Amino acid sequence: MIISGGGTGGHIFPAIAIADAVKAIAPEADIRFVGAKGKMEMEKVPKAGYPIEGLWISGFQRKLTLRNLSFPFKLISSLWRSRRIIRRFRPQVAVGVGGYASGPLLQVANSRGIPTLLQEQNSFPGITNRLLGGKADRICVAYEGMERFFPAEKLLLTGNPVRAQLQDIRATREEGAKHFGVDPAKPILFVFGGSLGARSINEAMAANAEALKARPDVQVLWQVGKLYEATFTACETAQLPNVKAQAFIDGMDLAYTMADVIVARSGALTISELQFAGKPAIFIPSPNVAEDHQSKNAQALVRKDAALMIPDAAAKERILKDAIALIDDEERRLTLSANIKKLAQPDAAEQIAREVIRLAQSAKP
């Protein structure tokens, strides 16, 4: 089988989880990844133990830019290379997880009659999966109501695959607090914006030092991201005794298990992980993503009373005000925690893996 796509952790880690689940069911499976050259999958996939080939491909910019001039050449190059990969590897099934590279690879697979499966992580699908959906044999989704975008008869509601260590968190609050150097007897707020960081969340935290001075009992683990380490670890908020600001979080399972409240972006992967963690969350959707899909992801949880949401534009005004109010409201936290945990789907990777194997077995010799 070939798994294609990537660009962000939200595409890559579910793809690896699917590959691991296929291997668990069929250890003899021969799995190859295809990604976009220069993107994080070219590093993360080999670390997970799978071979990967890269395509010269990138996204089409929605505004007029010189970068779009190279897009047709990249697309032609990627289609040509995808044909060579498929001719050489001869897959029985191709899986697309969204992202630049899945478009050319899945298009070639479809044209050659190879069964294809799409995995869509978000409540509002990306353009690549929307374009491929009409010809896909199966589309595995994480949200209800996706027949608005895809043929209903092809849909399977599976949820998003989550890494095993975050699906079954066994660490205790005390272990997490010890790891990060905080007091488990006091309230703990965990704020993060992904591995690279989120500028507006960081700016909101930096602007609210006074709110944390007024509540020295509230401890904060603040992940600023690699891009913003120099700027925000030196700000006043980061220097407060009740704040731990760092570029990267080593041990997300420990951070999740110790937190009383979590503030984060609402990417599909983060949401799926928090469903397993079962922690009250406040989502601040990124405004810089295609079709504003993070807002739609968050709203899907808000409608089920499983999370709270703050618009990105209101982050400075509300980030700590709303977080501290939730920390002080135990009943509300218990409700959000119970409702978000109900949405976790622990067998997502296995369900998708079994569909992949079924399609492979149905392939023409």
Known binding residues: 8-10, 122, 163, 195, 249, 294
Contact between 296 and 123 (Cβ < 8 Å): yes
Burial label for 145, CB within 10 Å (0-12, 13-18, 19+), is: exposed
Burial label for 107, CB within 10 Å (0-12, 13-18, 19+), is: buried
Encoded tokens for 144:
């209800």
140 has which bridge partners? 119, 156
Cα 205 to the chain's mean position, in Å?
Answer: 23
Q: Where is the binding site for UDP-N-acetyl-alpha-D-glucosamine, in residues?
A: 8-10, 122, 163, 195, 249, 294
Q: Which amino acid is at 49?
A: G
Helix H segments across 245-314?
252-258, 268-277, 293-302
Tracing tokens 């962000």 back to the chain, one arrives at 8
SS3 state of residue 242:
coil
Q: What are phi and psi of 145, to 5 degrees?
A: 80, 15
Encoded tokens for 352:
């998708």
